[in-house]
C-alpha cells in the first residue's frame, strides 16, 4: 500500500538548512495498523505531512496504492488526498457552525458525488462510529470524543486507501481516548489500513506495529507485543464505576 | 464540482455567519438604495417641473414689455408701456407661424357677492386665451369675441373665488351678479380646477373681457402680456422671429434701436429646466455611486478578514481534497452572492424609499428600469472585482501552514 524509498525533507530558513527527514525507507502493507512514535523534533510530523500528500519530499520515492505521489502536481495531490487518504487531526478540525452530516459529506462534495448518494453514505458512516442519532448536531454541541468520531466518519466516507491520524487522542480524556481507539480497532478489523502518529505509549498498545523515529530516520520497527483490546478496556471501566 | 454545488457551498458558508454576511451587504444595500432612490426622485422632479411648464400651454411664446428706463433708472421687468392692441393685428397678419394670439392685462381688486367678499386677481383677455393657456370650463362658458367687442360686463370665475365668496366651490354662481370695484358683472362660467403652479393659484382668478378691463378697471390701453401659440413645436423659433419683426414694425423701431419688448420661448425654458434637473439627477446619482464603490471596498475588507479568520477552515478543505480553484471559486462566489443579494435588497429599499419620498414631497417619482439594471450589474461587478483578491489569497494558502494557524 505504502512504499517509501530514501525520503528526504530539507527545510531551508535563511542560510540554515534543517534536515527533518534523512533517507527514510518504509513499507506498509494493506490492512496494517501502524503507530509512528518518537520524541518531538524526530520528524514524525514531517513524515505525516508527506504521507498525507500535504507536502512534497525534497528527494526520494513515494508510491501510494500504486500511484507515484512524489512527483504529482498540486492539483493531482488534492485529488489523491480526496480519494486515497482519510485524515484525523488532533484538533478534530471540523467546520464550525456546520452539522456533523455536512462535515462528513464534505469530501464527497469535492469528489463530485451526487447529493442523495452523498447523504446516504454520510449517514451510514456516522452510524458506523455510533453517532447515527446526532447527525444534525453542530461541533459545539458534541463532546471532544464525539467530535473526533465525526472526524473519523469523515475520514472513512471516501473509502480511502489509508487513514492517517495525527495525535488523535491528544485533546481527549482517558475514557474518550480509549473509546476512539476502540473505533480505530473496529475500522481496522473491517480491513482498513491505519497509521497513527502518537507520543503516548498507552495508545501504541492498541495498535499492531510500532515505528520509532529519531533525528529524521527510523530507529526501530517492531510488532506490538500483547496488543490491548480497547472495547474490552471500556467494559472493564464500566464495571469498575 | 459543478457550479450549482459551488453556489450551495458558498450560500451554506454565508448562512453559517449570518450577522457578518448582513453587515457586509450593508454597504452595497445602502449604495444601491441611494442610487435608485436619488435617480427616482431626480426623475420625478424633472417630470414635475416639465409638466408645470407644459401646463402653461403648448408651443407658447410670451411677450412682455421690457423695463422702463427713466434717466438711467430701470424699473421692474415688464413695467414699461409698449404693448398695445394694435400689435395683435400686426402679429396676426404678418406671422404665418403663429396660430393664435391673446392679449392680457391684470389687476387686483375686491370682489363682492352678497355678504361674501374676497381680494383676488382680475384677468382681462379674449376668447383665444382659454385655448392658448389650456383653461377648461367646469360650468357655463368663457369670454367670447362678442363680449370683447361689446365691452360687456361678464365674468368667468375660478373655483377658489366661488369658495371664498360663497363658502362652497360647487355653489351655483352662474347667473348671479358679482361686484368688481363696485361695478356689477354677470357670472357666465366657472373654470375647472387647475391647481397651483409655482407661486400662482390658477383657481383664484376672475376673467373678464380685456376691453371692459382696460376701460372700467385699469384706465389705460396698455397690455401687460401677449400670449402666442405657435403652429407647431418646430415652428417656435420661426414664430419668435416673425413676432419680433411684427412688433418692431408696429412700434416703429429703427434698426439701431433695441427691442422694447421681451419674448419668452417656452421651448427654451423647458430645455433649460430639463438640462438643469438632468444634471442634478446625474450629480445625485454620481454621489450615490461613490457610496456604492465604498460598499464594494467594504466587501473586499470583510472578505479579506474572513479569509484570514477562516485560514484553518481553508486548510481543512484543502486537506480533504479541495483544489486551489475550488477555494477560489467558493470565496469568489461568496463575494458575488453577497453583492448581488445586497444589490437586490438595495433596489427594493431604493424603490420603496423613492415612493415614500414622493409622497412626502407630494410629487410623483419614477424609478427608471435603466438605473435598476445598472445598479444590479454594478453590484455584481463590484462583487467580482473586489472578491477576486481575497479569493486568490485563500486559494494560494499552504494547507500545512493553514492547519497550524491559531
d(CA A128, CA A153): 8
**Residue B75 within a domain:** no
Say yes or no for a CB contact (<8 Å) between B16 and A111: no
Query: Does B142 share its domain with B46?
Result: no
Domain end (from B226, B259, B292): B259
Give the pLDDT score at B77. 55
Query: Does B250 share its domain with B293?
Result: no
The answer to whether residue A81 neighbours chain B at the CB level (below 8 Å) is yes
**Measured between CB atoms, which of B12, B323, B400 is closest to A75?**
B323
- pLDDT-derived band at B69 (thresholds 50, 70, 90) equals low
The three-class DSSP label of residue B343 is helix
Residue of B nearest to A105 (CA): B320
**Residue B184 within a domain:** yes
**Residue B272 within a domain:** no
**Distance (Å) from the C-alpha of residue A198 to the closest C-alpha of chain B?**
17
Most confident of A67-71, B57-61, B159-163, B278-282: B159-163
Residue of A nearest to B318 (CA): A78
Residues contacting residue B177 through CB under 8 Å, at least 6 positions apart: B113, B184, B185, B186, B187
Give the pLDDT score at B280. 85
**Residue B308 within a domain:** yes
Give the pLDDT score at B74. 62
Query: Which residues in chain B touch residue A97, judged by CB atoms under 8 angstroms apart?
Result: 16-17
- pLDDT-derived band at B80 (thresholds 50, 70, 90) equals low
User: What are the pLDDT digits (tens) for A54-81?
Assistant: 988 999 999 998 888 988 888 899 999 9
The answer to whether residue A116 neighbours chain B at the CB level (below 8 Å) is no
Instruction: State which residues of chain A have pLDDT below 70.
Output: 241
Place of cell 445625485: B284
Query: Does B251 share its domain with B131?
Result: yes
Q: How many structural domains compose chain B?
A: 2
d(CA A180, CA A164): 14
Query: Does B89 share its domain with B229?
Result: yes
The answer to whether residue A45 neighbours chain B at the CB level (below 8 Å) is no
Give the pLDDT score at B197. 66
Q: Is A131 left (phi over 0), alpha (psi -120 to 50) or beta?
A: alpha
User: What are the pLDDT digits (tens) for B18-52?
Assistant: 888 888 888 888 888 888 888 888 888 888 888 87
Domain enclosing residue B100, as ranges: 81-259
Q: Report the sign of the C-alpha dihedral through residues B353, B359, B365, B367, in that order.
A: positive
Query: Does B126 share its domain with B245?
Result: yes
Give the pLDDT score at B270. 84
Query: Does B250 share its domain with B285?
Result: no
pTM of the model: 0.71
d(CA A181, CA A187): 10
β-bridge mates for residue B140, sequence order: B189
The answer to whether residue A163 neighbours chain B at the CB level (below 8 Å) is no
**Residue B265 within a domain:** no
Residue of B nearest to A79 (CA): B321
Phi, psi of B389 (to 5 degrees): -60, -55
User: What are the pLDDT digits (tens) for B309-337?
Assistant: 889 999 999 999 999 988 998 888 888 88
Looking at B236-240, B274-278, B328-332, which range is the least confident one? B274-278
Segment 286-315 of chain B within 8 Å of chain A by CB: 312-313, 315
Query: Does B94 share its domain with B232?
Result: yes
Query: Does B332 share its domain with B249?
Result: no
C-alpha B78 chain-centroid distance = 27
Give the pLDDT score at B67. 64
**Residue B267 within a domain:** no
Most confident of B141-145, B254-258, B269-273: B141-145
Burial label, B245 (beta-carbon count in 10 A; 0-12, 13-18, 19+) = middle
**Residue B76 within a domain:** no
d(CA A188, CA A193): 6
- pLDDT-derived band at B269 (thresholds 50, 70, 90) equals confident
- Write down the mean pLDDT value for chain B: 86
Give the pLDDT score at B72. 60
Query: Does B181 share its domain with B245?
Result: yes
**Interface with A, mutate which of B16, B18, B306, B319 (most A CBs under 10 A):** B319
**Interface with B, mutate which of A49, A72, A78 (most B CBs under 10 A):** A78
The three-class DSSP label of residue A154 is helix
Q: Which three cell numbers stand for residue A205?
A: 498498545
Give the pLDDT mean for B248-264: 85
Place of cell 438605473: B371
Give the pLDDT score at A186. 93
Query: Does B100 share its domain with B249?
Result: yes
**Measured between CB atoms, which of A55, A74, A110 is closest to B1?**
A110
d(CA B189, CA B175): 9
Give the pLDDT score at B154. 93
Query: Does B87 share its domain with B234?
Result: yes
Nearest Cα residue to B247 out of B60, B75, B125, B64 = B64
Q: Is A162 left (phi over 0), alpha (psi -120 to 50) or beta?
A: beta
**Residue B67 within a domain:** no
Give the pLDDT mean for B270-277: 85
Query: Does B124 share its domain with B241?
Result: yes
Amino acid at each position: 500500500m505504502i512504499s517509501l524509498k530514501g525520503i528526504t525533507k530539507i527545510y531551508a530558513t535563511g542560510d540554515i538548512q534543517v534536515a527533518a527527514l534523512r533517507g527514510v525507507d518504509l513499507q506498509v502493507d494493506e490492512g496494517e495498523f501502524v503507530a509512528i512514535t518518537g520524541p518531538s523534533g524526530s520528524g514524525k510530523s514531517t513524515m505525516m505531512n508527506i504521507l498525507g500528500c500535504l507536502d512534497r519530499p525534497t528527494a526520494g520515492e513515494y508510491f501510494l496504492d500504486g500511484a507515484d505521489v512524489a512527483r504529482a502536481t498540486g492539483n493531482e495531490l488534492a485529488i489523491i488526498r480526496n480519494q486515497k487518504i482519510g485524515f484525523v487531526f488532533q484538533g478534530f478540525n471540523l467546520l464550525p457552525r456546520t452539522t456533523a452530516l455536512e462535515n462528513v459529506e464534505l469530501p464527497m462534495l469535492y469528489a463530485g458525488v451526487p447529493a442523495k448518494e452523498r447523504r446516504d453514505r454520510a449517514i451510514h458512516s456516522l452510524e458506523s462510529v455510533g453517532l447515527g442519532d446526532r447527525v444534525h448536531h453542530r461541533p459545539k454541541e458534541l463532546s471532544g470524543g464525539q467530535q473526533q468520531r465525526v472526524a473519523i466518519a469523515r475520514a472513512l466516507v471516501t473509502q480511502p486507501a489509508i487513514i492517517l491520524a495525527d495525535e488523535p487522542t491528544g485533546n481527549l480524556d482517558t475514557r474518550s481516548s480509549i473509546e476512539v481507539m476502540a473505533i480505530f480497532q473496529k475500522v481496522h478489523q473491517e480491513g482498513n489500513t491505519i497509521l497513527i502518529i502518537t507520543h503516548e505509549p498507552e495508545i501504541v498498545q492498541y495498535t499492531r506495529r510500532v515505528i520509532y523515529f529519531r533525528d529524521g530516520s527510523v530507529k526501530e520497527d517492531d510488532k506490538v507485543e500483547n496488543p490491548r483490546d480497547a472495547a474490552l478496556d471500556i467494559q472493564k471501566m464500566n464495571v469498575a464505576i | 464540482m459543478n457550479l450549482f454545488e459551488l453556489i450551495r457551498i458558498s450560500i451554506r458558508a454565508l448562512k453559517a455567519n449570518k450577522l457578518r454576511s448582513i453587515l457586509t451587504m450593508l454597504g452595497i444595500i445602502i449604495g444601491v438604495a441611494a442610487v435608485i432612490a436619488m435617480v427616482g426622485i431626480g426623475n420625478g422632479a424633472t417630470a414635475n417641473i416639465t409638466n408645470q411648464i407644459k401646463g402653461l400651454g403648448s408651443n407658447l411664446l410670451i411677450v412682455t414689455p421690457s423695463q422702463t428706463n427713466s434717466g438711467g433708472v430701470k424699473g421692474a421687468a415688464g413695467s414699461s408701456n409698449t404693448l398695445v392692441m394694435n400689435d395683435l393685428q400686426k402679429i396676426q397678419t404678418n406671422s404665418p407661424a403663429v396660430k393664435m394670439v391673446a392679449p392680457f392685462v391684470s389687476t387686483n381688486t375686491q370682489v363682492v357677492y352678497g355678504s361674501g367678499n374676497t381680494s383676488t386677481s382680475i384677468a382681462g383677455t379674449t376668447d383665444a386665451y382659454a385655448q392658448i393657456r389650456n383653461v377648461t370650463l367646469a360650468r357655463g362658458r368663457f369670454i367670447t369675441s362678442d363680449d370683447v367687442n361689446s365691452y360687456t360686463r361678464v365674468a368667468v370665475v375660478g373655483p377658489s373665488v366661488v369658495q371664498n365668496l360663497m363658502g362652497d366651490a360647487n355653489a351655483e354662481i352662474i347667473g348671479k351678479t358679482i361686484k368688481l370695484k363696485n361695478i356689477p358683472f354677470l357670472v357666465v362660467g366657472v373654470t375647472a380646477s387647475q391647481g397651483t403652479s409655482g407661486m400662482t393659484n390658477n383657481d383664484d382668478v376672475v376673467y373678464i373681457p380685456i376691453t371692459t378691463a382696460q376701460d372700467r378697471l385699469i384706465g389705460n390701453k396698455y397690455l401687460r402680456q401677449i400670449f402666442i401659440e405657435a403652429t407647431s413645436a418646430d415652428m417656435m423659433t420661426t414664430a419668435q422671429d416673425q413676432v419680433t419683426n411684427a412688433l418692431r414694425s408696429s412700434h416703429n423701431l429703427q434698426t439701431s434701436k433695441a427691442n422694447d419688448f421681451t419674448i419668452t420661448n417656452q421651448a427654451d425654458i423647458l430645455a433649460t429646466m430639463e438640462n438643469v434637473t438632468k444634471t442634478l439627477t446625474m450629480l445625485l446619482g454620481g454621489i450615490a455611486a461613490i457610496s456604492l464603490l465604498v460598499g464594494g471596498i467594504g466587501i473586499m475588507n470583510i472578505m479579506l478578514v474572513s479569509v484570514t479568520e477562516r485560514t484553518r477552515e481553508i486548510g481543512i478543505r484543502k486537506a480533504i481534497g479541495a483544489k486551489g480553484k475550488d477555494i477560489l471559486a467558493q470565496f469568489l462566489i461568496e463575494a458575488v452572492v453577497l453583492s448581488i443579494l445586497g444589490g437586490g435588497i438595495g433596489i427594493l429599499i431604493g424603490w420603496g424609499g423613492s415612493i415614500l419620498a414622493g409622497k412626502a414631497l407630494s410629487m410623483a417619482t419614477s424609478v427608471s428600469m435603466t438605473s435598476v439594471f445598472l445598479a444590479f450589474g454594478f453590484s455584481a461587478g463590484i462583487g467580482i472585482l473586489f472578491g477576486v483578491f481575497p479569493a486568490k489569497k485563500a486559494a494560494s494558502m499552504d494547507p500545512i501552514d493553514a492547519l497550524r494557524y491559531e
